[in-house]
Amino acid sequence: MGSVVFLLGLIISVPAWGDGFRNPFQDSAAIAQGNAFRAQADNPSAIHYNPAGMTQLEGVQHAIGVQFVNVNTKFQSASGVEVENDLGGLVGLPPPGQLFITGNLQTFDIPVMQDVTLGLGVESLFGFANKYPKDGPFASAVTRAQLPLLDIKPTMAYKISERISLGLGVDVFTFASFLGEGHSEQQSIAVGNIPGTTPGQELELTGKGTTAGLNASILLTPWMHDNGKPMVNIGFVWRSQAVLKLKGELRADGQKVADAKTSLRFPESYEWGLAIWPIRNIHHEWKVEV
């Protein structure tokens, strides 16, 4: 059996290689604030937005969410041919979701551990499989694609003082059989430029793998209200690069043509936020965050 190596650049060079829209929404409170939550991060979704914020949480807390979103898209070629993403319903499937659990260790009679908070998150970063007509203007690039990737996030935060907290975590990127097809997938119509295929055949390229990245964060509270709640918070999050090596198969009309492999790179990123609460009491709370 032959082996085919697909370079990442080859795969993502076509506009349709999205494999599922990235889901930026991981918490209802954050969604309601336009996702400006990194400097607040005061519920279990801090595992995603700013792990250092977990030190604000007491006891054991959890949050579960699922997003049902219409991701209908249309494309019009230069010749005027128009195609539409076929969702197969009103919302994108599989719907992305998340689970966050945090536990503050202050109840343990261990001095060093009293300022430690542990967390575990599981989230679906991509979802909503794309599907386009097999006779569309870019059918040779994609007719169906999805990337049902899970991000498992073991996380720890340490409160240095009432004004400074640090967070450290791992992002484990992997696939699971219960989510989508359990692997990345791209389908297209062959044009005959790949050995072992003929024009018009339905191609399917699959792959799966596991990798990990790191994240580190800080939450600063330079000013506080008289009630002890933050007046000003500054949040910063660093996420390392992670390279996901995918191994799978290339099939034509359901028959295996060759083994296939590629790499998917998640770039290094830096995120920060500034939150200001001019009013924050038991009756009213007003926040501005950038």
**pLDDT at residue 252, as a whole number:** 94
241-264, pLDDT tens digit by residue?
999 999 999 999 999 999 999 999
8-26, pLDDT tens digit by residue?
333 333 333 444 456 777 8
Which of 52-66, 122-136, 170-184, 249-263 has the weakest average pLDDT?
122-136
Contact 282, 48 (CB under 8 A): no
* pTM (predicted TM-score): 0.84
* Domains of the chain, CATH where assigned: 3-289 (2.40.160.60)
What whole-number distance in Å separates Cα of residue 284 and Cα of residue 288? 14
Reply yes or no on whether the pLDDT at 113 is more than 80.
yes
Mean pLDDT of the chain: 85
Strands 164-174 and 116-124: unpaired
**pLDDT at residue 11, as a whole number:** 35
87 Cβ contact partners less than 8 Å away, ≥ 6 residues apart: 70, 71, 72, 93, 128, 131
Reply yes or no on whether the pLDDT at 290 is more than 70.
no
184-198, pLDDT tens digit by residue?
999 999 998 888 899
